[in-house]
């Protein structure tokens, strides 16, 4: 008998749905719509609205409402098995905040299927646009919150992250300071995740510790609101925030709007949504502590899971709650594929030629090191971009190819050390994970085998798996590995083992790299 679960992903540019069948371990249905194309009246480009000030990036929450209606219409029309869905969970772009007035709870409860969702909900906002994760206009508020809380190290230890411009707390503070009247009319603040969950459930939904941690407001150790952080951020905040609840919290059955209009099973259970990165962690199969995934996409991202709460004293790695329980880290390296491409293009190479250069050069690169900061870097924090070459001639194409990849992998190893655990295996994904030579350097630098995972929509898949987990958890105990089995296995035959002689080279070379980085940071930020 089929067992269907629905996962939705409200990302920056699109809304995606995946229906999984847990019984057969198959993706039964997938659909996606692009906000610009599907909801043109909101005038977004790539899902966002830009301001004359380039630091200000918002999106209209009513567009997400319209998209939800349209996606369900598409699911119904294309014959998705909505009538048999047991539970629904979701994933949202992190940090984006939605401001609702006192009319929201009643409007959510009374959704009328005879009218579009947007007509039902157009009067519930106290702010017509939502600042999203791409907004970087709150440096002042970050400083004020940090000072008000009592210091950067204290804020990192308490909330899992330093104050970042895109985080919701600084964004809420900016709104409260700039528009106190509208802030005063705000009865409920949601994140993208909890806002979408609220519509499905027809009531104000809780936040989970995966997304809640992206606000600088949640106590990372207790996974509850941190009163001092709330006080340092904005007045009356405790009253406006939703409760925090475990990621597997069942909010209630789906609202009749979706049952009547689209034929969703009336007893389908709505599960708390989470952030897209926490959902991706599940979609990549990282459901136990000590697991690691590295995504080599436009940027490179390091995901790790921990059972104990540890925070990065340097504040480069964020710590969020993991939807599987425990904790996860997200460490972002901005100079990822784009930096590898820049080196490839500089020497006019194809990817096969780039790979040949990696094969032709030795681990440790004869001491040649590159700090590939083509763009300002997040980890480590580099404000003034520039590439640095140490013992490395710009004329040596092959050595430069090796240097960019080694520099990236050594940086990942160095800047994940605060987690206090060395990975025993790594799941690699993203465009560059197709490159075996790059994977070999990853395995050698990290000192463990690397396996490739092919994913297209890991956040939406993670959301569907979370729905399955929550539904089973509410009926007794269920082990996470059992839920993800069959959905998140690495590509068969993709294992790349570390070579012990190369591992020994990198165990020494990491110190030379760390010294080069310290020196480079003095030049770049000094
Ligand atoms: P994103 O999802 O972040 O847009 P992808 O995960 O799709 O990015 O990765 C795209 C990147 O993969 C490209 O920018 C390209 O640099 C890289 N890529 C593709 N093929 C190779 C290859 N053979 N070797 C190294 N990098 C590659
Ligand atoms: C994470 C972050 C982004 C958004 C993108 O901190 O800002 O990954 O979640 O959707």
Map 17-80 to HEC letters. EEEEECCCCEEEEEEEEEHHHHCHHHCCECCEEECCCCCCEEECHHHHHHHHHHHHHHHHHCCC
Ligand nearest to the CA of 132: 2
Q: Given this model, what pLDDT does residue 507 score?
A: 98
Q: Does residue 486 have a cis bond before it (omega within 30 degrees)?
A: no
Averaged pLDDT for residues 370-394:
94
Tell me, using a 6 A CB cutoff, whether residue 166 lines ligand 2.
yes
Query: Beta 49-50 vs 57-59: how paired, if at all?
Result: antiparallel
Mean pLDDT of 115-137: 97
CA of 93 to the centre of ligand 1 (A): 21
Atom of ligand 1 nearest to the CA of 340: 16
Ligand 1 atom showing the smallest separation from residue 354 Cα: 24
Res 64 pLDDT > 90:
yes
Residue pLDDT, tens place only, 31-57: 999 999 999 999 999 999 999 999 999
Are the beta carbons of 4 and 471 closer than 8 angstroms?
Answer: no
On whether the CB atoms of residues 67 and 35 are closer than 8 A, the answer is yes
Contact assessment for residue 392 and residue 294, using Cβ atoms and an 8 Å cutoff: no
Which letter does DSSP use for residue 290 in this model?
T
Confidence band for 455, pLDDT divided at 50, 70 and 90: confident
- Taking the centre of ligand 1 as the mean of its atom positions, its distance from the CA of residue 301, in whole angstroms, is 13
Nearest partner of 283 among 331, 245, 324, 320, judged by Cα: 324
What pLDDT was estimated at residue 443?
98
Using the predicted structure, report yes or no on whether residue 383 has a pLDDT greater than 90. no
- CA–CA separation, 67 vs 192, rounded Å? 13
Q: pLDDT-derived band of residue 451, with 50, 70 and 90 as boundaries?
A: very high
Diameter over CA atoms, the chain: 71
The predicted structure's pLDDT at residue 165: 95
| Separation of CA 422 and ligand 1 centre (Å) | 26
Q: How far is the CA of 247 from the centre of ligand 1 (A)?
A: 31
**How much is the average pLDDT of 102-128?**
98
Say which ligand is closest to the CA of 299: 1
Instruction: Report pLDDT digits (tens) over 232-278.
Output: 999 999 999 999 999 999 999 999 999 999 999 999 999 999 999 99
User: For 222-233, how does the pLDDT look when each residue is reduced to its tens digit (9 = 90+)?
Assistant: 999 999 999 999
What are φ and ψ of residue 320, in 5° steps?
A: -120, 160
**Sign (positive or negative) of CA dihedral 207, 211, 215, 220:** positive
Centroid of ligand 2 to alpha carbon of 94 (angstroms): 5
Instruction: Give the count of alpha carbons within 13 A of 311, CB side only.
Output: 21
Q: Do residues 216 and 145 touch, judged by C-beta distance below 8 A?
A: yes
pLDDT of residue 13 exceeding 90: yes
SS3 content of the chain, % helix, strand, coil (to 5): 40, 20, 35
Confidence of residue 525 (pLDDT cuts 50, 70, 90): confident
Separation of 51 CA from ligand 1 center, angstroms?
Answer: 30
CB neighbours of 397 closer than 8 A, spacing ≥ 6? 347, 349, 357
- Quick: pLDDT tens for 474-483: 999 889 999 9
pTM above 0.75, yes or no: yes
| Ligand nearest to the CA of residue 358, numbered in listed order | 1
- pLDDT level of residue 456 (50, 70, 90 thresholds): confident
According to the model, what pLDDT value does residue 495 have? 97
Closest CA relative to residue 412, chosen from 517, 526, 310, 325: 517
Q: Determine if the peptide bond prior to 380 is cis (ω within 30°).
A: yes
Give yes or no for residue 526 having a pLDDT over 80.
Answer: no
Which residue in 174, 166, 168 sits closest to 141, CA to CA? 174
Q: Reply yes or no on whether the pLDDT at 93 is more than 90.
A: yes
Distances (CA, A) of 53 to 36, 50, 59, 80, 136: 21, 8, 15, 43, 10
Query: What is the number of the ligand closest to the CA of 459?
Result: 2
CA distance 265 to 283: 24
Which residues fall within 8 angstroms of residue 217, CB to CB, at 6 or more apart? 159, 168, 169, 225, 226, 229, 230, 233, 237, 241
Q: Given a cut of 90, is residue 421 above it in pLDDT?
A: no
Do 404 and 295 meet the contact criterion of CB atoms below 8 Å apart? no
| Pocket mutation for ligand 1, best pick of 337, 339, 357, 436 (most atoms within 8 Å of C-beta) | 337
What's the gap in Å between 66 CA and the centre of ligand 2?
A: 22
Nearest bound ligand to the CA of residue 353: 1
- Most confident listed range (179-193, 294-308, 475-489): 179-193
pLDDT at 68 over 90: yes
- Axis-axis angle for helices 192-201, 61-77 (nearest 10): 50
Considering the chain, what is the average pLDDT of its residues?
A: 97
Residue 479: other Cβ atoms inside 10 A: 12
Asked if residue 406 has its Cβ within 6 Å of ligand 2, the reply is no
Q: Which residues line ligand 1 (CB under 6 A)?
A: 297-298, 337, 340-341, 351, 430-432, 434-435, 438
Q: With pLDDT > 70 as the criterion, what percentage of the chain qualifies?
A: 100
- The predicted pLDDT at position 33 comes to 97
């Amino acid at each position: 008998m089929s067992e269907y679960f629905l996962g939705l992903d409200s990302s920056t540019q699109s809304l995606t749905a995946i229906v999984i069948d847990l019984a057969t371990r198959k993706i039964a249905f997938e659909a996606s719509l692009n906000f610009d194309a599907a909801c043109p009246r909101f005038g977004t480009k790539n899902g966002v609205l830009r301001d004359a000030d380039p630091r200000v990036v918002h999106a209209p929450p009513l567009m997400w409402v319209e998209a939800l209606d349209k996606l369900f219409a598409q699911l119904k029309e294309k014959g998705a098995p909505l009538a048999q869905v047991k539970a629904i969970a979701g994933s949202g772009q992190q940090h984006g905040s939605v401001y609702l007035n006192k009319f929201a709870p009643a409007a959510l409860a009374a959704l009328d299927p005879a009218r579009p969702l947007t007509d039902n909900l157009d009067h519930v906002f106290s702010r017509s646009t939502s600042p999203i994760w791409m907004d970087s206009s709150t440096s002042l508020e970050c400083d004020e919150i940090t000072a008000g809380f009592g210091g950067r190290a204290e804020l990192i230890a308490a909330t899992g992250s330093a104050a970042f411009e895109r985080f919701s707390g600084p964004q809420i503070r900016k709104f409260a300071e700039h528009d106190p009247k509208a802030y005063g009319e705000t009865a409920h603040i949601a994140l993208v995740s909890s806002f979408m969950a609220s519509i499905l459930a027809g009531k104000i939904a809780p936040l989970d510790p995966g997304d809640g941690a992206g606000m600088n407001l949640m106590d990372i150790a207790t996974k509850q609101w941190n009163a001092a952080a709330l006080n340092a951020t904005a007045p009356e905040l405790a009253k406006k925030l939703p409760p925090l609840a475990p990621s597997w919290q069942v909010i209630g059955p789906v609202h009749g709007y979706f049952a009547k209009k689209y034929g969703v099973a009336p007893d389908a259970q709505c599960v708390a949504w989470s952030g897209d990165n926490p959902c991706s962690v599940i979609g990549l199969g990282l459901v136990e502590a000590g697991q690691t995934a590295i995504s080599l996409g436009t940027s490179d991202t390091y995901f790790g899971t921990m059972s104990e709460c540890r925070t990065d004293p340097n504040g480069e790695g964020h710590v969020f709650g993991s939807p599987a329980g425990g904790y996860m880290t997200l460490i972002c390296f901005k100079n990822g594929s784009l930096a590898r491409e820049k080196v490839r293009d500089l020497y006019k190479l194809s990817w096969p030629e780039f790979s040949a250069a990696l094969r032709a050069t030795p681990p440790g690169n004869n001491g040649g090191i590159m700090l590939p900061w083509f763009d300002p870097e997040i980890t480590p924090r580099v404000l003034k971009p520039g590439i640095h070459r140490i013992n490395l001639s710009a004329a040596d194409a092959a050595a430069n190819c090796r240097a960019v990849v080694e520099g990236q992998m050594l940086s990942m190893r160095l800047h994940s050390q605060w987690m206090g655990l060395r990975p025993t295996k790594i799941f690699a994904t993203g465009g560059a994970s197709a490159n075996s030579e790059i994977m070999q350097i990853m395995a050698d630098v990290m000192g463990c085998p690397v396996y490739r995972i092919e994913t297209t929509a890991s956040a939406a898949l993670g959301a569907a798996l979370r729905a399955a987990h929550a539904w089973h958890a509410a009926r007794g105990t269920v082990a996470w590995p059992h839920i993800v089995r069959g959905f998140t296995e690495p590509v068969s035959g993709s294992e790349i083992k570390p070579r012990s002689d190369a591992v020994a080279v990198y165990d020494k070379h990491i110190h030379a790299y760390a010294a080069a980085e310290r020196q480079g940071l003095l030049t770049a930020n000094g």
